[in-house]
Amino acid sequence: MKLLENRSIIITGASTGIGRAAALLFARHGARLVLNARNGERLDAVCAEVAAMGGEAQSVMGDIADAATHKACVAAAMDAYGALDGAFNNAAMVGPMAPLAEVAPADFVEFVRTNLCSAHLAVHAQVPAMLKSGGGALVFTSSFVGNSCGLPAMGAYATSKVGLSGIVKSLAADYAHMGIRANALLPGGTNTAMAGDAVQKEWAAGLHPLRCIAQPEEIAQAALFLLSDMASFVTGSNLWADGGASVTKVQAPW
């Protein structure tokens, strides 16, 4: 069963990691894609992978902190497919890590601008197009960091991610009756370049009762659920896909 058959879906941060995994998975489920990232070469490679599977993908280079990027993604969906049915707003930054009082004010603003303000820019561009298309689903990649625990030197990142929960709750209150669902996806540690080196990944694995970090494909599957009709009665929620990290308080002694 193809869960996104003929649905027009935007994916930001689609050139690597969770975004790339989502692009390939959604294409297998029949989605018609608009893929965004800053690295054009990697983005084109993912579009080529989708095409090789028999799927459709438009590429839009750009920074998610720029309103023009979101407008271009929506325009690409409407021009190519005539509708916008969903968006996986996945791109984010980890950036410089430091104890919160040592984070430069300009760096803190950059975290919030990239990870949180960009979500509103996405909403501003995507919701009107979805309303014209008869409704749709929005998914925002948040994090277990900040929502279930604080981690050393990640205060700015945590702050920027926690705000996404407020955005999806507000979207549910404002637009659920118009056919638009919005949810936050909260991954645990995931095997991407953002997770650091092998030592950092091993440390992160110890935070999870499953004793490992996720593969990008596992997080993409959770996003697929939220975008599909299988989640038709799910909106304004935080979906934990964190290997149980939210139910532990200290690093597991394994």
Contact 21, 219 (CB under 8 A): yes
Q: Hey, what's the torsion of the CAs at 39, 45, 47, 48, to 10 degrees? A: 160
Largest CA distance in the chain: 54
Is 157 designated active site? yes
Total residue count of the chain as it appears in this document? 254
Q: Are 149 and 247 in contact (CB under 8 A)?
A: no
Residue 25, Cβ neighbours under 10 Å: how many? Answer: 18
Residues 140 and 239: their CA atoms lie apart, in Å, by: 10
Q: CB within 8 A of 88, min separation 6: which ones? A: 9, 10, 11, 12, 19, 22, 26, 139, 141, 223, 227
Q: Which tokens go with 218? A: 């596992």
Strand 32-37 to strand 238-241: parallel, antiparallel, or no bridges (unpaired)? unpaired
Q: Which of 144, 157, 175, 240 is catalytic?
A: 157
Which strand ranges, in their side-by-side order, compose the sheet holding 8-12? 56-61, 32-37, 8-12, 86-89, 136-141, 180-187, 238-241
Active site residues: 157
